[in-house]
Structures are given as structure tokens and as C-alpha cells.
């Protein structure tokens, strides 16, 4: 009996595959990391074939860990790093260049040109986004303009664009399906947020031929079936898809208007469900599609910070202060506070609500007495400060306070970080028993797509709380620290 879902969580630094049963229990999992490519400062790339290889190995090893045969898989769900951009040859399925990662800032000058020409308001009104190199549209144009012969080939329909979800579905289905879902499409600067169709005028401004674009579909339906994909038999439905942050909102069971979550991954991402209304932000946030299921579209407000867990990786790989990422909590706990040190982790610019792609990381307040422990603590606090800035903007947009914030992602296991986040926000931080809610969201969308679960009630029942964190710091102390943070941000 086919009673399992294969959830592919394709992230920025690695690919995780989970085998999840009908009761939403994880039966097997495996993660494979892949190389990050930095051609020059501000540029970040991935080898698409390395991504595919990491997915393939993770599929094989997750199934082995679960003791499940591939023939028992009812459907495949995909969640992915969102704005990362791939252009490939429709005949060979091979990318014409490395993928340009969401963190990449090479198209900053083009975004500045479009703003100077007065197009910011148009893009915000139609897409809910700001003109920033974070998003896919300017990345596509860069590839077509900088890979020899790419633009005329694209105009002839020989090339295909996709975010990672599209590329995976293309390869999983042997090239039969060139699709994306509404949540990923809403991150390209090319889709009208209200019609859920590609906007010809915006494509023209960004010089993206519509012939390269995938079909926009819902987040829960059968897009195609597996064919000629290593480690999987032909005929398994690919039946669920959402960008990683929208999938996490879904997996956190944030189905009611006003419910919110923060995912602490490579970056940190806060989303709040705004129901069937696309709320326009006046405080530097984005309006995005949360999901489209059963003919109904749900929207969200989002604030994204580009660097969260990546700052911890930098301490590990760049400075050698820790041996593994999990060591940061013990190191940071060696001091009662950051000793006046502030770390603004703008290693690839500042995201919401500041939107300063030119900003760079800054460490201030260092004295002769500053130690590695102070720097570790300032790193964790810098992550929390960024998230606090986003949530403050979110509450202003909605003109309502948030009762609690659900958290997930790898860094949410860090108690010191979660406690400081609660101290800053003054709201309860709620951590679920299952931190891999991104993969859970993809699995549930896939299960809905093949009828394994009938409705949203199942995931609501499966969601379980593990711990709550409440404010422990004095409000005056918090205010003083926030003032120090704002001064540090102003210096970046």
C-alpha cells in the first residue's frame, strides 16, 4: 500500500529528504551538503548538478533509513530555496551556467537603475516586492546577457528558466513538466500577485522573454510523475510544492489570519498569514503568496533577513572560533552578555525592513576585554535583533500586536537565541516538537495532492508544542540594547 510521502527540502547549503508516513511521523531522513561557490565578493552560486546529486543521494539514504521501498511512495513534495535562479537547455536538461543564489548581489546596479527610472512603485503594486537583487527577475536577465548566445536561444524557446522547484520537477519528470507553484512564482518580480499570471509588462522591463517561463500551478496537485530519475521508479506523482518559507508557515499550521512563524535557517524569515487579502506593506515588508490550495489563494506578509545561520557558519569556517555550528551556544553562554559588542550580520547586505544591498557586516564595541565568547554572543544577538526589526514592522503594517511567534529551523534549537528573541520581542516564542516544519509543509501539500489526507485538520492535529520562551529582561534594559543595535546598523 502506498502510504508514505517523500519530502524533498532543497536548501541553500544542503538537501534534506524525509520519508513521512500517514500519521506525519518521520520514518527516515538524510541530508547532503554541497559546495557554495563565491566567484567574487557579493556573488554566490551553486552547481545545479551538485544540487541534483545531493537530492539523489538523500532520497536513496532516507528510504534506506526508513526501511521503505520506493514503490511505497504515494507522492513527492518539494520545498526549496526560493529566488535562486537556474536557466537550462530544454533538450539536454543541463544548466547553461551555475545557479545564481538568492543571496547574490550582482544585479544591484540594475535594480538601482529601475528605481531611478521610477519603477519601484509599479513593481511593488503588482508583485508585492521591492526592486532588490534578492529576487529572480534581474538574475534571469543577467544570465541571458552574460552567457554567450543565451538571449537569442531564450527568445527561440530553446532555454527554460526556473527556481529550484521547477528545475527539480523538470529532472524528476524527465523533462515532461516545466512548472512552478504560485508561492515560488510570487518571488520572481514577474508575476502579478493578484491574477497569479506572469505580467508581460514587467517581463519586458526586466528583459525576460516569456518563452522561458514555467507554467504557474497551485501548491497541491499532481504536476507529473517520475521518469528516469536515479533511485526512483517511474510513475511516482510529484504532487506538492511551495517555497521553503511558505511551506514552513503551512507546516506550522498557521492557517488563521494573524498567525506567524519565523524560520531560522541560512537566513531568517518571518511570515504572517493575512488570509485572502494581499496586504500592502508601508514598513519595508513584502507581500507574497503563502499558498494556493483547492482553488483558494492565501497571502502573507514577509520579512526576510539574508544572514542568520550563515553568520554562525562564518564563525566556524571563516574565523575558526567553533568546530561545529552547535558549539556556539556553549561558547556564547560563557559570558552573561555581549559586553557592549554588536555584530550586524550584513554579510550580503541588509534585507527587510532596511533593504540596503550595499550594506556590509560590521562589528562594533570591541575593547581589549572582548573575547571569542562575546563575539559568539553578539552573533546570536545580531540574528535576534534583525528578526525583531522585521516583526516590529509587521505589527505596524497590521496595526495589531502579535500574541506569539512560532519558530522552526535549525537555529531555533538554540535556547540562548530563543530566549533573547523573546526578550527583545516581548511576546512568547513557541517552539514545536518537530523543527523540520518546512519539510512537513511540503509533505502535507503532497499528501493533499494525492488524497492521502483529506483536509487541513490533519496537520493541525499533528502540530505539537515543545517549549515556550517568555521575556526575562527588564524593559529598560531591552530598550538600551535596541538603541545600541540601531546605532550599529546606522554605521554599516
Find the radius of gyration of the CA atoms of the chain.
Answer: 21
For residues 460-484, average pLDDT: 90
Residue 126: domain span = 4-245
What average pLDDT score do residues 144-165 get? 96
pLDDT value at residue 265:
82
Overall average pLDDT of the 283-291 stretch: 92
pLDDT at 424: 94
111: pLDDT strictly greater than 70:
yes
CA 284 from chain center: how many Å? 18
**Phi, psi (5° rounding) for residue 34?**
-140, 165
Name every residue whose Cβ is closer than 8 Å to that of residue 319 and which is 6 or more positions away in sequence: none
CB atoms within 10 A of CB 67: 9
Counting residues of the chain whose pLDDT is more than 90, the rounded percentage is 76
pLDDT of residue 182 exceeding 80: yes
For residue 257, tell me if it sits in a domain. Answer: no
Asked if 378 and 363 touch (Cβ cutoff 8 Å), the reply is: yes
What CA–CA distance (Å, rounded) separates 248 from 432? 12
**Band of pLDDT at residue 42, cut at 50, 70 and 90:** confident
| Confidence at residue 463, expressed as pLDDT on a 0 to 100 scale | 81
pTM to 2 decimals? 0.87
Sign of CA dihedral 102, 107, 112, 113: negative
Where b means 16+ CB within 10 Å and e means fewer, 70-84 reads bebbbbbbbbbbbbb
Distant-in-sequence, close-in-space partners of 399: CB < 8 Å, separation ≥ 6: none
What does residue 355 show for φ and ψ, rounded to 5 degrees?
50, 65
Q: How many residues does the chain have?
A: 492
Residue 158 lies in a domain: yes
**Would you say residue 376 lies in a domain?**
no
Decide: residue 220, CB within 10 A, 0-12 exposed, 13-18 middle, 19+ buried.
Answer: buried
Residues 268 and 275: their CA atoms lie apart, in Å, by: 22
Whether the per-residue pLDDT at 459 is higher than 80: the answer is no
**Cβ atoms of residues 205 and 138 within 8 Å:** no
Query: With 80 as the cut, is the pLDDT of residue 458 above it?
Result: no
More confident residue, 434 or 72: 72
Domain count, the chain: 1
CATH number at residue 230: 3.30.420.40
Q: Tell me whether residue 51 is in a domain.
A: yes
Residue with cell 556564547: 332
Residue 403 — pLDDT band, cuts 50, 70, 90?
A: confident
In a domain, 379, yes or no: no
Q: What angle do CA 132, 133, 139 make, to 5 degrees?
A: 135
| Residue 365 resides in a domain | no
Reported in sequence order, the residue ranges of 198-317 that DSSP labels E, i.e. its strands, are 215-217, 220-225, 237-243, 260-264, 268-275, 286-293, 296-305
Residue 64, number of CB atoms within 10 A of its CB: 12
pLDDT of residue 436: 80
pLDDT of residue 78: 97
- The predicted structure's pLDDT at residue 1: 64
Cα four-point dihedral sign 119, 121, 126, 130: positive
Residue 128 predicted with pLDDT over 70: yes
What cell numbers appear for 258 in the block? 494573524
Judged by average pLDDT, the poorest of 101-110, 264-273, 456-465 is 456-465
pLDDT per residue as tens digits for the range 332-349? 999 999 999 999 999 888
Separation of first and last alpha carbons in the chain: 57
For residue 467, being part of any structural domain is answered with: no
CA angle (152, 154, 156) in 5-degree steps: 70
Cα 12 to chain centroid distance, Å, stands at 8
Which residues are within 8 A (CB) of 245 and not within 5 positions of it... i.e. 6 or more apart?
82, 263, 269, 271, 302, 304, 438
The answer to whether position 360 is within a domain reads: no
Backbone angles phi, psi at 448, to 5 degrees: -65, -35
Instruction: Please tell me the predicted confidence (pLDDT) of residue 460.
Output: 79
pLDDT over 90 (residue 350): no
Q: What is the pLDDT of residue 334?
A: 95
User: For residue 4, what pLDDT is reported?
Assistant: 93
- What pLDDT is recorded for position 397? 87
Residues 167, 175: Cα–Cα separation, whole Å: 9
Amino acid at each position: 500500500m502506498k502510504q508514505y510521502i517523500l519530502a524533498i527540502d532543497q536548501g541553500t547549503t544542503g538537501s534534506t529528504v524525509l520519508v513521512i508516513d500517514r500519521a506525519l511521523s518521520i520514518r527516515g531522513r538524510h541530508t547532503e551538503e554541497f559546495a557554495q561557490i563565491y566567484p567574487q565578493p557579493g556573488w554566490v552560486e551553486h552547481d545545479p548538478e551538485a544540487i541534483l546529486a545531493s537530492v539523489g543521494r538523500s532520497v536513496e539514504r532516507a528510504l534506506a533509513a526508513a526501511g521503505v521501498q520506493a514503490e511505497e511512495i504515494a507522492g513527492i513534495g518539494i520545498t526549496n530555496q526560493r529566488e535562486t535562479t537556474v536557466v537550462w537547455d530544454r533538450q539536454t536538461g543541463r544548466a547553461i551556467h551555475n545557479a545564481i543564489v538568492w543571496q547574490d548581489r550582482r544585479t544591484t546596479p540594475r535594480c538601482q537603475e529601475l528605481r531611478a527610472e521610477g519603477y519601484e512603485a509599479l513593481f511593488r503594486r503588482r508583485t508585492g516586492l521591492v526592486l532588490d537583487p534578492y529576487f529572480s527577475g534581474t538574475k534571469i536577465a543577467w544570465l541571458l546577457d552574460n552567457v554567450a548566445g543565451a538571449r537569442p536561444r531564450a527568445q527561440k524557446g530553446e532555454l527554460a528558466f526556473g527556481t529550484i522547484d521547477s528545475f527539480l520537477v523538470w529532472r524528476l519528470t524527465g523533462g515532461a513538466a516545466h512548472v512552478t507553484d504560485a508561492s515560488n512564482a510570487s518571488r520572481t518580480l514577474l508575476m502579478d500577485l493578484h491574477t497569479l499570471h506572469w505580467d508581460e509588462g514587467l517581463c519586458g522591463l526586466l528583459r525576460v522573454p516569456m518563452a522561458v517561463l514555467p507554467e504557474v500551478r497551485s501548491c497541491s496537485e499532481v504536476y507529473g510523475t517520475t521518469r528516469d530519475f536515479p533511485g526512483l521508479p517511474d510513475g511516482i506523482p510529484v504532487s506538492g510544492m511551495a517555497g521553503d518559507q511558505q511551506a514552513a508557515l503551512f507546516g506550522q499550521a498557521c492557517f488563521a489570519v494573524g498567525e506567524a512563524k519565523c524560520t531560522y535557517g541560512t537566513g531568517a524569515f518571518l511570515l504572517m498569514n493575512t488570509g485572502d487579502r494581499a496586504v500592502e506593506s508601508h514598513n519595508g515588508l513584502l507581500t507574497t503568496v503563502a499558498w494556493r490550495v483547492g482553488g483558494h489563494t492565501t497571502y502573507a506578509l514577509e520579512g526576510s533577513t539574508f544572514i542568520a545561520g550563515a553568520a554562525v557558519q562564518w564563525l566556524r569556517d571563516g574565523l575558526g572560533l567553533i568546530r561545529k555550528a552547535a558549539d556556539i551556544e556553549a561558547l556564547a553562554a560563557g559570558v552573561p552578555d555581549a559586553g557592549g559588542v554588536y555584530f550586524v550580520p550584513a554579510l550580503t547586505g541588509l534585507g527587510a525592513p532596511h533593504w540596503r544591498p550595499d550594506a556590509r557586516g560590521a562589528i562594533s564595541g570591541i575593547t581589549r576585554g572582548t573575547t571569542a565568547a562575546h563575539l559568539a554572543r553578539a552573533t546570536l544577538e545580531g540574528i535576534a535583533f534583525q528578526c525583531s526589526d522585521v516583526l516590529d514592522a509587521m505589527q505596524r503594517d497590521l496595526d495589531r500586536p502579535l500574541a506569539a511567534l512560532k519558530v522552526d529551523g535549525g537555529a531555533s534549537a538554540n535556547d540562548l537565541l530563543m530566549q533573547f528573541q523573546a526578550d527583545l520581542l516581548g511576546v512568547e516564542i513557541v517552539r514545536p516538537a518537530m523543527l523540520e516544519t518546512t519539510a512537513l509543509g511540503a509533505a502535507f501539500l503532497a499528501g493533499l495532492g494525492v488524497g492521502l489526507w483529506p483536509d487541513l485538520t490533519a496537520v493541525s492535529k499533528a502540530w505539537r508544542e515543545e517549549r515556550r520562551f517568555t521575556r526575562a529582561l527588564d524593559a529598560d534594559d531591552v530598550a538600551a540594547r535596541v538603541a545600541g543595535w540601531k546605532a550599529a546598523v546606522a554605521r554599516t
